[in-house]
């Protein structure tokens, strides 16, 4: 099996619960720049579920939310909860790092996580087309790669640091942006140009989160990446419903 295929499958295994026979973290981090394709796969799967459910909006939203959690394994939501604790604590430096590394979930994690689940449920319940769903997943995972590229890696070794260090390649960034733009242009071509605006607005959250993590921690780690993906993904979906 070619290394690129093995790396892509490992990345798919890491970011989703789709059963594949490759699960190398090293390969997954090396091919992190292919993340928009993972987002496209996630978006298509959730969109197919959306097309086949025919219940009232509450049940439809519940099914889509449950499908999202099952498909992603709650990976990004876990990172969202951890970093939410740091934001809610209003601590910086060593205190913020201590809270981030605490395996227990605090009250702010529960509050913020409940809020984003409610927003995602409301968005899923009112969505009218598959295109915003696909776009939200593609843009969400793309934000994870971009914040990794522009961030400072943590001093300690961990899963997040592997992906961040591997992302810091101009060649990989070029490949990543090319893949992302091809997907976005395809969505614009077959749907509506307004989705491009949704994508741009959602990605504006990246420098805000990056600034915040540098100020609080001095670096970005896996939890911040997960926080970014989940936030951008949800905001993208929400904006599409509002528009």
N residues, the chain: 243
pLDDT of residue 17: 94
| pLDDT on residue 52 | 94
pLDDT exceeds 90 at position 104: no
* Residues 24-66 pLDDT 10s: 899 999 999 999 999 999 999 999 999 999 889 999 999 999 9
Residues 232/203, Cβ–Cβ less than 8 Å: yes
Tell the burial category of 132 from Cβ atoms under 10 Å away from its Cβ (0-12, 13-18, 19+): buried
pLDDT, position 63 = 97
Angle made by CA atoms 158, 164, 168, in degrees to the nearest 5: 145
Instruction: For residues 164 and 225, give the distance between their C-alpha atoms in angstroms, rounded to a whole number.
Output: 9
Residue identified by tokens 């893949």 is 179
Give per-residue pLDDT as tens, 142-184.
999 999 999 988 878 777 889 999 999 999 999 999 999 999 8
Q: What is the Cα 206 distance to its own chain's centre?
A: 11
| Three-state secondary structure readout of 40-91 | HHHHHHHHHHHHHCCCCHHHHHHHHHHHHHHHHCCHHHHHHHHHHHHHHHCC
For residues 195-224, give the mean pLDDT: 89
**Using CA atoms, how far apart are residues 174 and 179, in angstroms rounded to an integer?**
9
Tell me what pLDDT residue 106 has: 82
Residue 194 has pLDDT above 70, yes or no: no
The pLDDT of residue 129 is above 90: no
The pLDDT of residue 200 = 76
Confidence of residue 195 (pLDDT cuts 50, 70, 90): low
Of the candidates 20, 37, 50, which has an alpha carbon nearest to the alpha carbon of residue 132? 50
**pLDDT value at residue 1:** 58
Q: How far apart are CA 87 and CA 78, in angstroms?
A: 15
What is the rounded average pLDDT for all residues in the chain? 91
């Amino acid at each position: 099996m070619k290394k690129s295929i093995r790396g892509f499958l490992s990345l798919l295994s890491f970011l989703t619960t789709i059963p594949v026979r490759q699960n190398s973290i090293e390969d997954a981090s090396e091919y992190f720049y292919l993340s928009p394709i993972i987002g496209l796969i996630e978006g298509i799967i959730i969109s197919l579920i959306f097309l086949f459910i025919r219940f009232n909006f509450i049940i439809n939203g519940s099914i889509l939310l449950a499908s999202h959690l099952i498909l992603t394994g709650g990976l990004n939501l876990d990172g969202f909860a951890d970093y939410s604790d740091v934001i809610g604590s209003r601590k910086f430096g060593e205190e913020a790092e201590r809270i981030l590394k605490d395996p227990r979930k605090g009250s702010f994690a529960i509050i913020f996580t409940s809020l984003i689940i409610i927003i995602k449920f409301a968005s899923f319940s009112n969505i009218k087309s598959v295109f915003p769903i696909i776009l939200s997943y593609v843009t969400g995972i793309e934000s994870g790669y971009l914040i990794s590229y522009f961030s400072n890696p943590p001093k300690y070794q961990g899963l997040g640091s592997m992906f961040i260090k591997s992302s810091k390649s101009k060649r990989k960034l070029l490949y990543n942006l090319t893949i992302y733009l091809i997907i976005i242009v395809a969505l614009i071509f077959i749907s509506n140009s307004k989705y491009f605006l949704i994508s741009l607005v959602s990605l504006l959250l990246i420098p805000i989160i990056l600034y915040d993590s540098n100020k609080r921690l001095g670096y970005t780690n896996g939890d911040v990446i997960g926080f970014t993906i989940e936030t951008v993904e949800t905001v993208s979906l929400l904006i599409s419903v509002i528009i």
